[in-house]
Amino acid sequence: MENPYKKYFSEKSLWQKTGEFAQSAGQQVIYAVLLLYYMFNDPEITLKKKVTIAAALGYFIFPADAIPDFTPLIGYTDDLGVLLFALTQIYTSLTPEIRGKARQKMKEWFNKIDEKELLALEEKIQQSPFTSKDSI
């Protein structure tokens, strides 16, 4: 089944959305986006995984979310759920190098990164019942 959101993914639209909404989206959402982005650009990642990543990032970029992003407190909840699900499906490909690139970009975008927030996101991925132990 074709995922309708992957067509919304482009590097330009991703950087535009993250640049505009980084502060309001929060560090966990942006960290998840960056992890997926750097995995997408890793030559070791299979095409099947890249399709999963493109669909998740396309959903993040898509302007008509299930919960509008401007909704106070819960606006990015659906985005984070989709991003987390994608990360659980390709968890075995999440390398220390990819984590490092994502953290470096976080340091550029946020005055201060909350290490606890980033570690909490990584724990959510590891402990999810959806986390794939096998590569897709």
Per-residue pLDDT of the chain (136 residues; tens, 9 = 90+): 455 655 667 777 777 777 777 777 889 999 999 999 999 999 999 999 999 999 999 888 886 655 554 444 456 778 888 999 999 999 999 999 999 999 999 998 888 899 999 999 999 998 888 887 664 5
Please tell me the total count of domains within the chain. Answer: 1
Kindly state whether residue 2 falls inside one of the protein's structural domains: no
Residue 53 within any structural domain of the chain:
yes
pLDDT value at position 5? 56
User: How high is the pLDDT of residue 31?
Assistant: 95
1 found inside a domain: no
Structural domain includes residue 3:
no
- pLDDT for res 47: 93
Position 88 scores a pLDDT of 93
Report if residue 26 sits inside a domain: yes
Please give the residue range of the domain that contains residue 115: 9-127
Q: Between 11-25 and 47-61, two packed helices, what is the crossing angle to 10 degrees?
A: 60
Rg over alpha carbons for the chain, rounded to the nearest Å, is: 14
Distance of CA 48 to the CA centre of its chain: 16
Residue 22 confidence (pLDDT): 76
Rounded to a whole number of angstroms, the distance between the first and last alpha carbons of the chain is 16
Per the domain annotation, does 134 fall within a domain?
no
Q: Assess if residue 51 is contained within a domain.
A: yes
- Six-digit token pair at 57? 């990032």
Predicted confidence at residue 87, as pLDDT, reads 95
- Least Cα distance to 5 among 89, 82, 85 occurs for 82
